[in-house]
């Protein structure tokens, strides 16, 4: 009887090990931290504008308000301004014709203020005027 129980337990144990080996693998979560030498202290080498103990060590820390200013969007690139101008011109003028004019900021501002029903947002208008002056 002892041999039967021992055989039964052995088979049961082997089956449990086999099933556990075939089960789903769990992904281990790991954190990759930057290497820091033992003799170096983040607080001693931190720039004056960086909070001590800030992560990542050695990079300038920005406040949340300067990193994500409310109501301010990124400036338009030259390609975006060109595409906007071509869209707003609507085939009435070509971009080269518009770029041929030498106007001041105030003159472009006045011209772009609801010229023939074409309107710009303040950000678009600022980007377009700066583009027209610089090109």
Asked if residue 72 belongs to a domain, the reply is no
Return the structure tokens found at 67: 């990193």
pLDDT average, residue stretch 52-65: 50
pLDDT score at 65 = 46
Which residue did the predictor score with more confidence, 62 or 75?
A: 75
Which residue did the predictor score with more confidence, 56 or 22?
A: 22
For the chain, the domain total comes to 1
In tens, the pLDDT along 81-95 reads 888 888 888 877 888
Asked if residue 59 belongs to a domain, the reply is no
Q: Which domain holds residue 82?
A: 78-134
Asked if residue 61 belongs to a domain, the reply is no
User: In whole angstroms, what is the distance from residue 97 CA to residue 132 CA?
Assistant: 11
* Three state DSSP letters for the chain: CHHHHHHHHHHHHHHHHHHHHHCCCCCCCCCCCCCCCCCCCHHHHCCCCCCCCCCCCCCCCCCHHHHCCCCCCCCCCHHHHHHHHHHHHCCCCCHHHHHCCCCCHHHHHHHHCCECCECCCHHHHHHHHHHHHHC
Asked if residue 120 belongs to a domain, the reply is yes
Please answer whether residues 61 and 54 qualify as being in contact, where contact means their C-beta atoms are separated by less than 8 angstroms: yes
Asked if residue 110 belongs to a domain, the reply is yes
Residue 25 has pLDDT above 70, yes or no: no
Asked if residue 103 belongs to a domain, the reply is yes
Residue 10 has pLDDT above 80, yes or no: yes
Asked if residue 15 belongs to a domain, the reply is no
Asked if residue 82 belongs to a domain, the reply is yes
């Amino acid at each position: 009887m002892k041999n039967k129980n021992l055989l039964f337990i052995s088979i049961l144990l082997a089956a449990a090990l086999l099933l556990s080996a075939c089960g789903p693998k769990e992904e281990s979560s790991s954190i990759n931290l930057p290497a820091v030498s033992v003799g170096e202290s983040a607080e001693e080498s931190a720039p004056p504008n960086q909070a001590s103990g800030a992560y990542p060590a050695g990079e300038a820390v920005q406040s949340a308000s300067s990193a994500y200013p409310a109501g301010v969007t990124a400036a338009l690139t030259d390609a975006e301004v060109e595409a906007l101008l071509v869209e707003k011109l609507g085939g009435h003028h070509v971009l080269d014709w518009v770029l041929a004019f030498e106007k001041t900021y105030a003159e472009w501002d006045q011209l772009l203020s609801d010229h023939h029903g074409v309107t710009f947002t303040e950000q678009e208008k600022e980007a377009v005027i700066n583009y027209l002056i610089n090109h």
